[in-house]
Structure 1
Amino acid sequence: MPNEARSEARRHEVRRKVAVVLFNLGGPDRPEAIKPFLLNLFSDPAILRVPFFVRPLLARIIARARLKPATANYDILGGRSPLLELTRQQAAALEAALPEIDARCFIAMRYWHPFSLEAARAVKAWGADEVVLLPLYPQFSTTTTGSSLIAWRQSAARAGLAAKTTTLCCYPVDGAYARATAALVRAAYDKARQALDPTVKLRVLFSAHGLPEVIVKGGDPYQWQVEQTVACVMAAWGEPADHAICYQSRATPQKWIDPSTETEIERAAKDRTAILVVPIAFVSEHSETLVELDVEYRDLAKALGVPGYFRVPTQNSDPDFVAALAGLVRRALECGVGLCSGVGGRLCAAGFGGCPFGAISEDSRTTVRSATVPSTASPSG
């Protein structure tokens, strides 16, 4: 290609308008929004896995039962979730980290404003040439990213958005993400060790949101991907620290994946070891970190006599984490239209039927199939 044509191609590349759509859970922005937020959450077929004709009634019953404790949690946070504000900060930082393209970030929350339809309409109005769907869930689950992808596909159709779209399904083993996370763990670990008596042991607990066991047995790759993330973070850290993976936020009587975070706190008390909790499946502070980890589990650890309780902050707008997201966007654009993971192709082992790569058809490379086993999963904002 002649030099002039090559230069023109580069100028065209710089001018292309890329909409980066950030998927996140969402959270109530005022006390009055807590009830409808919960109703939206439990009305999602990916969350409440019961026959469709039962779901509306059951969703109302569960939302009503969860309203009082949820309101108490959000009262601690001033009556609202900080998730939208923090996601906006991540969006602004990510735009600045992509100077070579005309990138604009749009936020598509799943259960409260701004919803996917609002984001899709905004992307269309902006006139994007290309769209990158970037979940702020590093590990894929049919209950989080899978649900958001279904909502986005429906919303984009309603909005008449027909731009070329690349879907990044997950990035649990991305090297830059693992190094950014390991740096936060290292800093918190060193600070905790300085605060502890040298004779007190320190254990790292990687705490992720739990799922009902039946969902994982139905082929959801989330637990496996969490394990891969922890392995990568430990390798990037390079510290042979005592560590364990656990799961928080059990919301229903059925069996959830284990060990639970409560169980690991009890084990630490018996072992007389301090703990450093790492919210490994969250990249923004919200009720599950600021209330569940910082208040409820801290109180439990104190009551059980755990000799020290520390917590690693989430990534939020950490520069290294934002740089990792920017790298993922660039690689997604290189992959082209369709579905890609943080490693390009399929990451999950063959046995995971919930992997979005297992649901690709000739007609749609971004269709996500959700498992239909009866169950309830309950994230919160």
Structure 2
Amino acid sequence: MLVNLGTPSAPTTKAVRAFLGQFLHDYRVVDLTRFLWCPILHGVILPFRSPKVAKLYESIWWEEGSPLMVVSRRQQAALSQQLAEQDIPVVLGMSYGEPSIESAWQELKSAGVEKVIILPLYPQYSVSTSASVFDSWAKIMKKERQIPYFSFIRDYYNHPSYIKALADSVRQDWQENGQTELLLLSYHGIPKRFENQGDPYGHQCHKTSELLAAELGLEPHQWRTTFQSRFGREEWLQPYTDETMQALPKEGVTSISVICPAFSADCLETLEEISGENKEYFMEAGGERYHYIPALNDNSAHIQMMVDLVRAEITAS
């Protein structure tokens, strides 16, 4: 079972509001008491934010549908083809929206599957992502009389196949477009408070960056790690991507490549926020060359990494 975050069903206010409502109701994502959070969510955030976010989705929507959903289906099909000889079915579930994790399980159950390998497509573990997937799975299993054997791939931030896939994508991009002064690795942020409470996400992000830089043979001044997509007023993991974009040209860095290693599929946060909004920040601050390196999506090295993870779980059992 491949699992990703999910996406609105359409780039409309109604669809985005339904998606955000489900997403922001998850206690793993926003851990405020419901007594305080729900009035803010339903009275302020959803009415005012949904129309704005819908316009952003509209700007990146593909003819086939949401980029995240289109890519996720391609990943499912490619992995299924690779595992066909072993007669291993591959299903797709989303934490929010459709297809749900529940529907993905029902698909496996109908096929008579007795062991489930759950692969959240989050390379770095966080309570707000991977743990939320586990919560959903546990909630579904509460209704089952016979729980299947299952394994949960918690993270793969340092897996050799993952690092190699990232490095190959960077090398290919530089071969086609030329190497820049700096490789900036932008990860989705989380509240700093989560890290203080034991979430290993920030540490794992930095480790991924170190391993990728080493694989590429980069010197310390040739790469940098930042965090994007902060929400609300509290402190999140730093340095912030947007502030870094505005500061780099003042430091004399005018050409950068940007990659987002925490995203397994291109989506709103990469196609609009990084490839669009943050490019504007950099260029307006005096930058001269800015290039976004796409997510691993369904490229062959990424699919092979998934195959390696799945086969390792099979061997371990």
Q: TM-score, normalised by structure 1?
A: 0.78
Q: 1:308 aligns with which of 257, 282, 289?
A: 289
Q: Which amino acid aligns with 2:61?
A: G
1:209/1:249 contact within 8 Å kept: yes
What residue number does 1:71 align with?
54
Unpaired segments ≥5 residues, structure 1: 1-20, 195-200, 337-381
1:107-163 Cα shifts (integer Å, max 9, x gaps) = 111111111111121111111021000010000000001011101111233355622
Q: What is the alpha-carbon distance in structure 1 between the residues aligned to residue 117 and residue 61 of structure 2?
A: 33
Q: Which amino acid aligns with 2:302?
A: F
Q: TM-score, normalised by structure 2?
A: 0.93
**Matched positions, count:** 310
Q: Which amino acid aligns with 2:105?
A: A
What residue number does 1:202 align with?
181
Q: 2:159 aligns with which of 171, 174, 185?
A: 174
Residue 99 of structure 1 and its aligned partner are, at CA, apart by 4.0
Q: What is the alpha-carbon distance in structure 1 between the residues aligned to residue 7 and residue 146 of structure 2?
A: 26
What residue number does 2:227 align with?
247
Q: What is the alpha-carbon distance in structure 2 between the residues aligned to residue 27 and residue 124 of structure 1?
A: 24
1:268 aligns with 2:248: yes
How is 1:86-165 mapped onto 2 (pairs within 5 angstroms)?
A: 86-158=71-143, 162-165=147-150
Structure showing greater relative contact order (alpha-carbon pairs closer than 8 Å, 6 or more residues apart) = 1
How is 1:266-345 mapped onto 2 (pairs within 5 angstroms)?
A: 266-273=246-253, 274-336=255-317
Q: What is the alpha-carbon distance in structure 1 between the residues aligned to residue 71 and residue 126 of structure 2?
A: 22
Residue 235 of structure 1 and its aligned partner are, at CA, apart by 2.0
Q: 1:219 aligns with which of 187, 198, 207?
A: 198
What residue number does 1:33 align with?
15
What residue number does 1:58 align with?
40
Q: Which amino acid aligns with 1:51?
A: T
1:83 aligns with 2:68: yes
- Say which SS state the counterpart of residue 282 (structure 1) adopts: coil
Q: Greater CA radius of gyration, 1 or 2?
A: 1
Residue 202 of structure 1 and its aligned partner are, at CA, apart by 1.1
Identity %: 27
Residue 100 of structure 1 and its aligned partner are, at CA, apart by 4.1
Aligned-residue CA RMSD in angstroms?
1.7
- Say which SS state the counterpart of residue 185 (structure 1) adopts: helix
What residue number does 1:343 align with?
none
What residue number does 1:191 align with?
176
Residue 279 of structure 1 and its aligned partner are, at CA, apart by 0.6
1:24/1:137 contact within 8 Å kept: yes
1:135/1:168 contact within 8 Å kept: yes
Q: Which amino acid aligns with 2:200?
A: P
Q: What is the alpha-carbon distance in structure 1 between the residues aligned to residue 29 and residue 284 of structure 2?
A: 33
- Say which SS state the counterpart of residue 113 (structure 1) adopts: coil
